[in-house]
Chain A
């Protein structure tokens, strides 16, 4: 059957554009999907390696007086028989200007089952902490030191400060951009003398904190993989969208290639090739093309991931504090998965075409009307499938409405997917019905009637591209409105929370003295000291019910006052804003929205929290929004927090008395005075506007990849439309030739083409508007709440809607311009010659 296969494939030799369109669809679909999966796989690898490191999963000790830890603390605690181990952390700059984290450890006291402590033999351990020592690093960190991976072991690279690293030893289990050395070497490299960053102990090894120290439990640290799961899920959802849009191109190309080969199929059947063999050969053709497209897609995906990974890593670092390497590390199953998803998608896209080809009778194969009758059946099928998808969306919505807020992330995505699918499936039947109705209205305008009838004839080939455009436009509008709304809300929230003009972070030991000194200054109108601590929420008492929990929470202290109280946003209170603030001053608490939604806590409930002095009970007076915080947080008045939870002092918000002289000058004066009195550097004092600018930058970077993927999806949809139009351009010209012969100018014909497609795209854009708004509503009310724990108000931006419609029109006109230009430039005689040749 090789002859039959080669005969089938010979079609692409004469129609290379169709082959290009098919491969393009597979390529872009595979590239975006594989790119995002490569990013996710690399991030997961980083999380796994971070978890395996000794910096997580261990209890931590800090000095209660806020003074830095030194070697003497370690010695004294060891002499008391406590199983603690010192860690010294810092950053070094390589001779190439790259910043790397150095972690100095004492391998003999480091608790048990960390990747480092369990790796290596006794001989290796001795080599680690005796001269000339060792520098352990992951293989993907070597290039940051300007070294090839293979050449790295044994070398001793220099740092920017002149120190040389001990000989390098590769340790694949270590996280990226991290150098692990003996603590004595770290002290020399970091020039930190006898300082110690942390004292750690195996989780649960210390029952209570030693006298003078604060104990941070390992379980208050959240696993970065768990924290970032929703971020990766969102990325995967965007990639899936791009994959689907790409597969629309594939299906359009396959449909066209098969439609144009109906005659060939009929001839081959007449020449004795069985129908089943033909379908099998078409499937084999799909596999061959699929493998080529998928491999190209995966290769481009890896390239795309390399380009996007630094931004994603920065986002994950700023959003969740999760360290992700900027070098790709892809497991073997990534490659197989990419190939499998692209080929699977191809078969989903191609199965309908194969099914239709298998069902057509041999005598009907060559007849276009048999194929068109198939399209009519397909429209009916689409309408039924669209109705089923709409019912699924309704069922999901009803189910979600019955769930507590914050439940149902997957159901939320299913709801959005079902809505998009329902609208996409209904688009072609609605366009066909609309065109038919308009055609009846335009009976007295023959050219308009012809244009409408002609557009109906084009629908079978255009419908898939239009569906892809609808999905891309609505996703763009939905995500764009969500991000825009989030931005507005976030900026408002920053304004409401950052009420002080300046923020000072003095060392813990000087905090009270600095505060007392500032109170006396004329330029200071009000001071807003903060404090923070870690705790565990043990119990929630609501009415007569009690629920036992073990949830790590952050405790944060604020100072209610004339500046803060009126602006601090509250979502829900027990008895109004004023009463809530009075309650806070009297020792009650506010909790953030994440904690309230995640644990089903309402104002009026009582919380039992673990504190150094035993259990503390607080009543919830209000719930406040806390965007961007992945953890549950309990807010108390600073004084109460420091007293009841022995919390460390945080920062001092400084409200200036007057705006004259300008804030910069006042900050400068205050900074000089602080330096003179307390030896505080200029960096200790931050302008509120600086913090806002930094937060806004982090926000913008967080959504950079979302925007990039969104724009790429729209570009793919535009390509789908262009490819569909180019593929049928020649046949269109043949259809237009008789009109030219009847006296319609070529310019007018080109204009008709543009109007036809522009109108269809505008209709698609109009359909995308309500769908996009519905997607935004699902994102802010369901998916964000489930993924991040906070709800956003629904914002609809008329400018965003206008942009969506303009994009639809622009994409369509751009795609139609090339065929229209070709038509306009084709000599009239050629048009007729093409018509005669059919």
Chain B
């Protein structure tokens, strides 16, 4: 489902180029879940951005669902995100001007495959049933992250990319959100790549890899 081959990525800084990824190799099979761990600034988010086609590698190859993202144009990468991927961010990134229900359906609608029954089930299972007409700012942090997970899973993506999905939540809320995320991923059959710095969050996933000094260790 996801494959990184000798991927290099550097950023230009006033002090010269900063090498973030230096020859990363990684594979993730369909339906598999993988935790990617590492210190702050080790390149976890950069790796996730490359997987989502939000950025392009300097060298090496990133393949998602069999397609090399470097060979896709801007529109092709956007289509890939729309139809194949689901994204969950640490900062939620909900649309403040849409209601809870509209936020949840947003990506499925953009992908052109809204499943009303599945959306309704997600609302129930995410515990958002009584909040459907509220706006994101009227929700707690845990509720907002549950909504972000629902939005990402509504179109049943083949690959879910999650960037520190519990990083902004307290411990008990984080556990609750994580359980829900894994259950839903299992039910949809999606592959999961989760970036985290917490071993406790990484533990329930199928595999765990460590990113250090720009390489998978």
* Nearest 6 Cβ contacts at the A-B interface: A272-B82, A10-B97, A272-B81, A274-B78, A3-B109, A14-B97
Q: Provided the pairs A272-B107, A363-B55 are in contact, do residues A14 and B78 lie with their beta carbons within 8 angstroms?
A: no
Give the distance to chain B from A733, nearest Cβ to Cβ, in Å.
16
B80 lies within 8 A of A272 (CB) = yes
User: Binary interface profile of B, 41-84, with partner A (CB < 8 Å = 1, else 0)?
Assistant: 00000000100101100000000000000000011001111110
B95 lies within 8 A of A274 (CB) = no
* B137 interface hit (Cβ, 8 Å): yes
* B87 interface hit (Cβ, 8 Å): yes
- Tell me the nearest residue of chain B to A362, going by C-beta: B54
Binds B, one of A234-242, A259-267, A308-316: A259-267
A266 lies within 8 A of B93 (CB) = yes
B49 lies within 8 A of A363 (CB) = yes
A837 lies within 8 A of B110 (CB) = no
**Chain A: interface secondary structure?**
helix
B54 lies within 8 A of A270 (CB) = yes
CB < 8 Å neighbour of A271 from B96, B98, B107, B137: B107
> Can you add 11 more A-B contacts, CB < 8 Å, to A7-B97, A14-B135?
A3-B106, A3-B110, A10-B102, A14-B96, A14-B97, A267-B95, A270-B87, A271-B82, A272-B78, A272-B80, A274-B74
| Chain A residues with CB below 8 A from B111, complex form | 272
| Chain B residues with CB below 8 A from A366, complex form | 93
Give me 23 A-to-B residue pairs in the complex whose CB atoms sit less than 8 angstroms apart, sorted by A's number: A4-B110, A7-B95, A10-B97, A11-B97, A13-B97, A264-B96, A264-B97, A266-B93, A267-B95, A269-B78, A270-B52, A270-B81, A270-B89, A270-B93, A271-B107, A271-B110, A272-B82, A272-B107, A273-B82, A274-B75, A275-B74, A276-B75, A837-B137
CB < 8 Å neighbour of B110 from A264, A266, A272: A272
| Chain B residues with CB below 8 A from A10, complex form | 95, 97-98, 102
Q: How far does the alpha carbon of A269 sit from the alpha carbon of B78 in the complex, in Å?
A: 7
Give the distance to chain A from B186, nearest Cβ to Cβ, in Å.
23
- Tell me the nearest residue of chain B to A366, going by C-beta: B93
B83 lies within 8 A of A272 (CB) = yes
| Chain A residues with CB below 8 A from B106, complex form | 3, 7, 271
Q: How far does the alpha carbon of A264 sit from the alpha carbon of B97 in the complex, in Å?
A: 9
* Total number of A residues with any Cβ neighbor in B under 8 Å: 27
- Tell me the nearest residue of chain B to A267, going by C-beta: B93
User: Binary interface profile of B, 86-130, with partner A (CB < 8 Å = 1, else 0)?
Assistant: 010100011111100010001101110000000000000000000
Q: How far does the alpha carbon of A273 sit from the alpha carbon of B79 in the complex, in Å?
A: 7
User: Binary interface profile of A, 379-407, with partner B (CB < 8 Å = 1, else 0)?
Assistant: 00000000000000000000000000000
Give the distance to chain B from A156, nearest Cβ to Cβ, in Å.
65
**Interface residues, chain B, with chain A CB atoms under 8 Å away:** 49, 52, 54-55, 74-75, 78-83, 85, 87, 89, 93-98, 102, 106-107, 109-111, 135, 137
Of the listed residues A12, A272, A366, the one surrounded by the most CB atoms of chain B closer than 10 A to its CB is A272
Q: How far does the alpha carbon of A544 sit from the alpha carbon of B170 in the complex, in Å?
A: 101
| Chain B residues with CB below 8 A from A271, complex form | 81-82, 87, 106-107, 110
| Chain B residues with CB below 8 A from A7, complex form | 95, 97-98, 102, 106
Within 8 A of B (CB), among A356-375: 362-363, 366
Q: Provided the pairs A7-B98, A363-B55 are in contact, do residues A272 and B137 lie with their beta carbons within 8 angstroms?
A: no
Q: How far does the alpha carbon of A266 sit from the alpha carbon of B49 in the complex, in Å?
A: 13
| Chain B residues with CB below 8 A from A270, complex form | 52, 54, 81, 87, 89, 93
B110 lies within 8 A of A273 (CB) = yes
Q: How far does the alpha carbon of A274 sit from the alpha carbon of B78 in the complex, in Å?
A: 5
| Chain A residues with CB below 8 A from B80, complex form | 272
Q: How far does the alpha carbon of A272 sit from the alpha carbon of B110 in the complex, in Å?
A: 8
Give the distance to chain B from A171, nearest Cβ to Cβ, in Å.
58
| Chain B residues with CB below 8 A from A269, complex form | 54, 78
Give the distance to chain B from A369, nearest Cβ to Cβ, in Å.
14
Q: How far does the alpha carbon of A49 sit from the alpha carbon of B149 in the complex, in Å?
A: 72
Q: How far does the alpha carbon of A272 sit from the alpha carbon of B79 in the complex, in Å?
A: 6
- Tell me the nearest residue of chain A to B55, going by C-beta: A363
- Tell me the nearest residue of chain A to B135, going by C-beta: A14
Q: How far does the alpha carbon of A397 sit from the alpha carbon of B85 in the complex, in Å?
A: 62
Of the listed residues B55, B83, B87, B106, the one surrounded by the most CB atoms of chain A closer than 10 A to its CB is B106
- Tell me the nearest residue of chain B to A263, going by C-beta: B93
Q: How far does the alpha carbon of A271 sit from the alpha carbon of B74 in the complex, in Å?
A: 13
- Tell me the nearest residue of chain B to A261, going by C-beta: B97
Within 8 A of B (CB), among A252-288: 263-264, 266-277
- Tell me the nearest residue of chain B to A361, going by C-beta: B55
Give the distance to chain B from A167, nearest Cβ to Cβ, in Å.
65
Q: How far does the alpha carbon of A271 sit from the alpha carbon of B87 in the complex, in Å?
A: 7
Q: How far does the alpha carbon of A366 sit from the alpha carbon of B135 in the complex, in Å?
A: 20
Give the distance to chain B from A357, nearest Cβ to Cβ, in Å.
14
- Tell me the nearest residue of chain A to B83, going by C-beta: A272
Q: How far does the alpha carbon of A272 sit from the alpha carbon of B108 in the complex, in Å?
A: 11
